[in-house]
Structure 1
């Protein structure tokens, strides 16, 4: 998709479609008023006739009329008030969905919706992300691949200089779609080995170095928590280490760590069969790390990033871990495995230790589809945010608000730690039936060694089930903005 900026008048721009707005009181935007005047009141008459009420993201496609150069007009409702972040993205998604199929170019006269809170550059950035969303469709495993989704050749932005914003939005959109593609891949293809191959393919860019730690090497190192999960499968587990080098090597990297369980049966603590097919999405934390790296490689920010993925299958084989087993983590701490379905924290804790010991990161954010408890608490709207570091909390909440990739901060007080007490090891891997999302975060916090750290539980936001089944690509946008703000 190409993005262009133009100062042409709305009635004069040559395009397959021009997009203009109307609010809920019937007031046309300046660009819409120009078209209305050139067409003898054609747009205002549509409101008077009740064809459109101006509600947020409501659309009405109209044929081109005499007096304007565009072949079609898309009239879009902007609501009662200046759009907030959520409504603005609804508007842009509606626009992209309605216009991305047209051959040629689409002109957007949306700059009038900008505000102090959401400047024109933000609208342009989110426009590129919206068109990336509209262009994505999973076809990789179709017997007869469908035609590529149609998309406009170019988007013409009628307004100020927002070229840089379009570059950023395009990079984030590509990263989101990459994360979706990885998440949607079936688990017989998307194995830990296949994920490692995706990381290696990204190293064609000289800014990225990749190292793969295989299951045997990790066992030799003493990563007993990771090995306890990976050993139950015939597919060997791996920790994938990607280093994005954007500035001087003396600058400590910011670490992002993604859970990559490519299929989660629950192990010996077997999950119910209903919807178990969706457990291929238990690697969406890893997918978001890959998507973030993809965006960073396009944007080339001056920052060092350590991007790690812990990848394994959790299977109920004869040599799988059993409830009651005690394993020794890479840190030396021992763990009583009370539930083999609490495996994500086991693979992550050894990766945290490895990353801290070997790379001394300035900060860490781990991202994981970790707990059903978080999904029950927050649904599909907010990811759970856990941290005791106020600076990191503020940084992540700022990035979440800007990108509308929402988070909600949940408690991580020390009082919860005692729920992980074990009679037979330094800790148990679960804390009982209460506060499950918090005790999972408490478990991980024990392996952060004083490094500024935050945990994102994306169990409710990483994918959608049912008829809309598919990966969402969250929280790539949040992570990219968080890192760029560094």
Structure 2
């Protein structure tokens, strides 16, 4: 898809389609009023006859509107003008793109970016329109022998901004939005791959392909032999029952002008399939456990966005690839594992495996002397119960980092909600036989899982994003959401001083 911005009057646009808004009840937006005026009331006459009320998402496609140069005019219902908020704006954009793609309009000029959205500027409206457009057009058909193809798909979209002064803002918004969209697409593509294709080696191959494209990115892998030498016995235990080797992929992006600048470290849980191991999961929806590498897919997608944005920061990303399967060699409930940090863990449930992989990865990244570390993981079903599919759970050992992530979530629309990391919950992890257990019980499961990880993050500022509820959708629309690429990319933009147009 090709995006651009311009500032101009609708009557001067020669395009396959012009998109304008109509508010409820039958109130024309400013741009629609201009078209109505030059068409001698053609549009308002249609509305008076009841062809469109203006309810959110209603569509009316008009052909050959008098005195309008464009072939079509698409009227889009936007609801009540004073109630247009972020969520409704993105829903309207999504429905508009779907409609345009059906009409055979291969290009369009969209004036919806001129609508007033509470508390949001042109940069936000254009960027969200780009990201929403790409998301609306996304399909995953890599494994289908017959692919559905749109005969005349939408290929070019022009967003109008109110004044020429905002053209630079709009162009920056497109650049940022495209980078996030491309990173999100990579995240979705990798996460949606079946587990017989997407294993730890596949994650590594995707990272290596990216490194071939971008000079500032280097990739290396840590296999089981090296993990054993490093003492990563918790990580190794989880993958013991699988035929697929556990592989930790390390991606290093050097973009800072100061080569010695401390890196931001991103760690993604990469359980390419989680059967639960000996503590076997129920069979229902077990196919969705291919998404247990959603954290690693999100980190991989974020690195794609980072490389495209060419930000002036240093970032290290770790994809903690592993597979948890039942086998004669699998680790068991009751086993005691020695982690890379030297701390010991009693295994109470082999389905609480993500934290065992992550704890060694979090110890491993100490060597980079990180400025901050952010891990992201589909870690706990408790987070789904607590926050549903709308907000990512966030816990942190430093307030400023938590604040920055919350702000990045609000700015990107990929929101998170902070949960407490209080020591009051710590005794739930007590073990009579080891330094700790890997399970804290049913109560406050997201918090106790993060508290477990916090025991391995004492040497740096750290935040944990639990994306168990937000990384994928179930049901008829099953598939990866691409989260948390937007929030992580927005955080990196902020750290590089480019959270909005400069």
The structure 2 residue matched to 1:215, chosen from 217, 220, 224, is 224
Residue 84 of structure 1 deviates from its aligned partner by: 2.3
* Cross-structure match for 1:475: 484
The answer to whether the 8 A contact 2:247-2:321 is kept is: yes
* Cross-structure match for 2:206: 198
Counterpart-to-counterpart distance in 1, 2:154 and 2:285:
36
Q: Deviations over 1:150-180 (max 9, x none)?
A: 6422111222301111111111111111110
* Cross-structure match for 1:234: 243
The structure 2 residue matched to 1:331, chosen from 321, 341, 347, is 341
Residue 184 of structure 1 deviates from its aligned partner by: 0.5
Give the alignment's Cα RMSD to 1 decimal.
1.6
The answer to whether the 8 A contact 2:86-2:117 is kept is: no
**TM, length-normalised to structure 2:** 0.93
Counterpart-to-counterpart distance in 2, 1:79 and 1:32:
15
The structure 1 residue matched to 2:303, chosen from 287, 290, 293, is 293
1:366-405 alignment to 2 at 5 Å? 366-405=375-414
Q: Deviations over 1:183-234 (max 9, x none)?
A: 1000000011111100110111111011100112101210011001011101
Greater mean deviation of Cα atoms: 53-62 or 85-94:
53-62
The DSSP-based 3-state class of the residue aligned with 2:315 is strand
Residue 480 of structure 1 deviates from its aligned partner by: 0.4
* Cross-structure match for 2:499: none
Residue 85 of structure 1 deviates from its aligned partner by: 2.0
Greater mean deviation of Cα atoms: 51-60 or 216-225:
51-60
Q: Deviations over 1:66-123 (max 9, x none)?
A: 2111222221222221532222222222222222454431101124324572111111
* Cross-structure match for 2:90: 89
Greater mean deviation of Cα atoms: 107-116 or 223-232:
107-116
Q: Does 1:345 align with 2:355?
A: yes
Q: Deviations over 1:122-156 (max 9, x none)?
A: 11111111121122111111123443796422111
* Cross-structure match for 1:107: 109
The answer to whether the 8 A contact 2:336-2:345 is kept is: yes
The structure 1 residue matched to 2:188, chosen from 180, 185, 191, is 180
Counterpart-to-counterpart distance in 1, 2:434 and 2:64:
73
Moved over 6 A (4+): none
Counterpart-to-counterpart distance in 1, 2:322 and 2:118:
46
* Cross-structure match for 2:262: 252
Greater mean deviation of Cα atoms: 314-323 or 450-459:
450-459
Give ranges in structure 2 of 5+ residues lacking alignment.
Answer: 496-502
The answer to whether the 8 A contact 1:61-1:72 is kept is: yes
The answer to whether the 8 A contact 2:114-2:160 is kept is: no
Structure 1 residues 348 and 46, CA gap change in structure 2 (3 angstroms): farther
The structure 1 residue matched to 2:452, chosen from 432, 443, 455, is 443
The DSSP-based 3-state class of the residue aligned with 1:255 is strand
Structure 1 residues 348 and 83, CA gap change in structure 2 (3 angstroms): same
The answer to whether the 8 A contact 2:42-2:66 is kept is: no
The DSSP-based 3-state class of the residue aligned with 2:128 is helix
Counterpart-to-counterpart distance in 1, 2:151 and 2:455:
46
Counterpart-to-counterpart distance in 1, 2:250 and 2:116:
40
Structure 1 residues 431 and 149, CA gap change in structure 2 (3 angstroms): farther
The DSSP-based 3-state class of the residue aligned with 1:11 is helix
* Cross-structure match for 1:63: 63
The answer to whether the 8 A contact 1:100-1:134 is kept is: no
Counterpart-to-counterpart distance in 2, 1:192 and 1:148:
34
Residue 331 of structure 1 deviates from its aligned partner by: 0.6
Residue 404 of structure 1 deviates from its aligned partner by: 1.2
The DSSP-based 3-state class of the residue aligned with 2:3 is strand
Give ranges in structure 1 of 5+ residues lacking alignment.
Answer: none
